[in-house]
Structure 1
Amino acid sequence: MSILFLKLLLAHFIGDFVLQPKSWVQKRREHIGYLLIHVATHTMLLVLLFIPELPDQWQVILFISCAHLLIDSGKIYFEKRFPKRAFLLFIADQTLHILSLVAVILYQYGLSIDWGTLFSPKNLLYVLAFVLTAFVSPIMLRVFFSKWTSEVDVASKPTKSLVDAGMLIGIMERLLIVFFIQVGFLSGIGFLLGAKSIFRFGDLTNAKDTKFTEYILVGTLASFVAGIAIGYGLRIGLQYLV
């Protein structure tokens, strides 16, 4: 089962990212021929990888090729309708491709799930830590800073920042902090704080606003405190509850 899935993944990633020039991606929106060439490339990769088992796996190759054509056609359609949702469509496209490969595995080998292992205390703790880090902490921090938002008037600051970039940076830094704590790389937290301080130095210097500077510093420290609390909470939970 694992060899089959690895072959399918290898063919998918080579076909989608190695053997698909950027020009094909752009031109296939207007000319279906480029899409057909792309799908044919995937088919040939699958044939090459499954040469020894070709008589037994030709149905798999046919199914994946047709599924790939259908999924990519849908992506092209939605790209034209929602040109500003490129990243979301990319994630949806890749997810559907992977699910089509998983469907092949499930069809050939069936579905066998050890629910006890899946919902073990260890796994539940990891999921809980991720939810707290990625979803709960941003809301808590936003509520925490709501009393200063009008006073600092962040919205009026002349910035050219990306949409939701600050929130994503905060989530990623907290995820890194939690990870560093789990692997015992505590110096990484200091490095992360130092790196963020260096990148923020220019913004704080140009702002020339004491309140805004304090707002940024408190926000950074609060984010780190949240990440450290979640990280050590997870570590203690794994030690004493599992």
Structure 2
Amino acid sequence: MSIIFLKLLLAHLLGDFVFQPNRLVQMRKEKIGFLLLHVAIHGLLLSLLFCTTLSTQWHIVLFVTFAHLLIDSVKIYLEKKWPLQPFVLFIFDQILHVASIIAALVLVYGWSEAWTQALFSSTSLCYLIAFLLTAFVSPIALRVFFSKWTSQTEFLSKPQDSLTDAGLLIGIMERLLIVLFVQIGFLSGIGFLLGAKSIFRFGDLTKARDTKFTEYILIGTFASFIVGILIGYALKFGLKYLTISVN
């Protein structure tokens, strides 16, 4: 079954990224013929990859092809409704495509009890909780932590020459890297990360010449790193002592 999953995933990657130029992406939004062409390319790729077993696995090819048509049609509709959310729609689209591949396998082979055990194992839950803490809980916690200085940070209300939510995303990514570094034992990587951030922030701090702004940046950096390190070691502890070994 794993080889079938890999073939389906390969066909998806080839059809959605290799054999779909940006021009086709734009044109399929306007004319359904180009959408059908895109889906036909997917069907052809699937047929080629399953050419030796097509007589017995044609229903998998058919299911995934029509699922692709349905998912892309929904995406095009949502793109017209929410044109300012391309990244969110892209992720949503790719998740649905992978889900359709898994659904095809489940329909043909059924759901394995081993999959349930793997999904809800202590290891999986530890990783999921660590990700949620890093990407969703910690930004809110840090925002609450900084709320005590809201009235004192006049510079936050001034127009900033920066990307929307860039600081939020940078913080999430740096904490994810810290958690990863803790897991693989690359603690010096945390130092390199802190050094790199300090270098990039040095120009802002020099130009600002504002003590409050400098303190705000330093506190934010250290708080973010401390949170990342705590989550990293909490995950390491959980994987070591809370996971259940299955013999």
Give the TM bin, normalised by the shorter chain: over 0.9
CA distance in 2, matches of 1:122, 1:30: 46
- With over 3 angstroms needed to count, the CA separation of the structure-2 counterparts of 1:157 and 1:213, relative to structure 1, is farther
CA distance in 2, matches of 1:67, 1:125: 32
- With over 3 angstroms needed to count, the CA separation of the structure-2 counterparts of 1:66 and 1:163, relative to structure 1, is same
Deviation at 1:117, TM superposition (A): 4.5
- With over 3 angstroms needed to count, the CA separation of the structure-2 counterparts of 1:93 and 1:240, relative to structure 1, is closer
One-letter amino acid matched to 1:147: K
One-letter amino acid matched to 1:207: A
- Residue matched to 2:39: 39
CA distance in 2, matches of 1:92, 1:120: 25
CA distance in 2, matches of 1:117, 1:85: 33
- Residue matched to 2:94: 94
- With over 3 angstroms needed to count, the CA separation of the structure-2 counterparts of 1:118 and 1:216, relative to structure 1, is same
1:53 matched to 2:45: no
One-letter amino acid matched to 1:193: L
- Residue matched to 2:17: 17
Q: How do 1:98-137 and structure 2 match up within 5 A?
A: 98-114=98-114, 115-137=116-138
Deviation at 1:139, TM superposition (A): 1.4
CA distance in 2, matches of 1:113, 1:204: 55
Q: How many residues are matched?
A: 242
One-letter amino acid matched to 1:214: E
- With over 3 angstroms needed to count, the CA separation of the structure-2 counterparts of 1:240 and 1:92, relative to structure 1, is closer
Give the match's secondary structure for 1:83.
coil
CA distance in 2, matches of 1:69, 1:177: 40
TM-score of the aligned structures, taking structure 1 as reference length: 0.94
Give the match's secondary structure for 2:42.
helix
Show structure 2 runs of 5+ residues with no match. none
- Residue matched to 2:84: 84
One-letter amino acid matched to 2:193: L
- With over 3 angstroms needed to count, the CA separation of the structure-2 counterparts of 1:84 and 1:106, relative to structure 1, is same
CA distance in 2, matches of 1:199, 1:219: 15
1:148 matched to 2:117: no
One-letter amino acid matched to 1:8: L
1:197 matched to 2:198: yes
Per-residue deviation, residues 201-242 of structure 1 (Å, max 9, x unmatched): 222122221101110111001100111111122223333344
Deviation at 1:185, TM superposition (A): 0.3
Show structure 1 runs of 5+ residues with no match. none
- With over 3 angstroms needed to count, the CA separation of the structure-2 counterparts of 1:185 and 1:95, relative to structure 1, is same
Alignment RMSD (CA, Å): 1.5
Give the match's secondary structure for 1:30.
coil
- Residue matched to 2:28: 28
CA distance in 2, matches of 1:120, 1:96: 24
